[in-house]
Chains A and B, each alone.
Chain A
Amino acid sequence: MDFSNETPIYLQIMNRLKSDIVTGKIKMGEKLMSTRELAVSLRVNPNTVQRVFKELENEGICFTKRGMGTYVTEDEATIALLKEQLANDLMMVFIDGMKKLNYSLVEIIEKVRSYGEVNK
């Protein structure tokens, strides 16, 4: 995984895991790698991974079974909400960029439609 300088590393890892969960690459209820395993595979500090797990737990996306490891939630509503959030984040960046180019909301919608038709 390549990291950018703009965002804290733990956030970049969180986002990667979130999108893997939303797309089903990591299944609901699945056990995640241990802190150490994930740290070695991403070649990052184990403390960073620990923080990732803690934040994901705070957001209700993961939970820890004592002495067993960290698991992805089995709650479908939480995952659906997460998907919504990720989509909103992308949308915000996109719309923001378009508005800076002086597109109105109506124009943006039209643009998306025609772009979608051309790039099916």
Chain B
Amino acid sequence: MNTMIKIVDLHKSYMTKKALRNVNLEFQSGKIYGLLGPNGSGKTTLMKVIADLHQQNEGEILICGEKPSHKTRAFVAFMPTENFIYGWMKVKEALQFYKDMYQDFDMERAEELIQFMELDKNQKVASLSTGQKARLKITLTICRRAKIYMLDEPLNGLDPISRTKIKECIIDQFDSEGVMIISTHLVNEVEQILDEVIFIGGGEIIISGETETLRAERGKGLEDIYREVFANA
């Protein structure tokens, strides 16, 4: 196990609002992390700082020993919540677009995953359902041969079938040399696939630790722990 991401005393604020305060975290290879917290808790901001899309105001982030830059972007695969694929593209063009954009994109793997996700390569992106778009987004992200994968709300607003497909895809494609970070508030959905959880609220880390240890210590499931932690949030 190696430390892939190390975050020390991180602060980030937008104009007047403090988005992250005093964040200290380490992410190890071979683990799947859950970043859990309500809307506006800082999950997306944290991911975007790691992805080099935002800059922190104070503190340090090291990704495989390097500060976030175009260099680290080459091995950090981030899936934002927004729809980032042009509607006029066909599914196969979206794959090609990713192939052109990212050197580490694995087309063979993508072709397989498109089938598993039951997507039609010739369909226009604009005509895909919400669930299908989500499945395409995750396919594009996960088919990069990156070291760090960050999925921002991969299950939000999706039907049960799409959620299951996406979870199976995450489990199947997980690389034991890499790190996977999943942000969500759908705790029940991800409880069984997380090695470690990080509860984040109001921009601060409230609890972090091994899922199984937390469950044992508190004698309850993650959902109940979540309710307890954020009861006043």
Contact = CB atoms under 8 A, between A and B. Distances in A.
A45 interface: yes
B212 A46 contact: no
Nearest to B169: A40
A45 B193 contact: yes
A43 B220 contact: no
A44 B195 CA distance: 10
B202 interface: no
Given A43-B167, A43-B171, A46-B174, A5 B192 contact: no
B140 to A, nearest CB: 20
A47 B175 CA distance: 11
Contacts of A42: 192
Interface of A: 3, 5-6, 8-10, 36, 39-40, 42-48
Interface range, B side: 20 to 34
Contacts of A39: 171-172
Contacts of B215: 5, 8
A42 B172 CA distance: 11
Contact of A9 (B168, B192, B220): B192
B219 A48 contact: no
Contacts of B219: 5-6
Given A3-B192, A43-B192, A45-B194, A9 B171 contact: no
Interface string B154-185: 00000000001001100110101000000000
B80 interface: no
Given A5-B221, A5-B224, A44 B171 contact: yes
Contacts of B195: 45, 47
12 contacts: A3-B191, A5-B224, A8-B212, A10-B212, A36-B172, A39-B172, A40-B172, A43-B164, A43-B167, A43-B193, A47-B31, A47-B195
A104 to B, nearest CB: 32
B109 to A, nearest CB: 14
B118 to A, nearest CB: 16
B38 interface: no
A46 B176 contact: yes
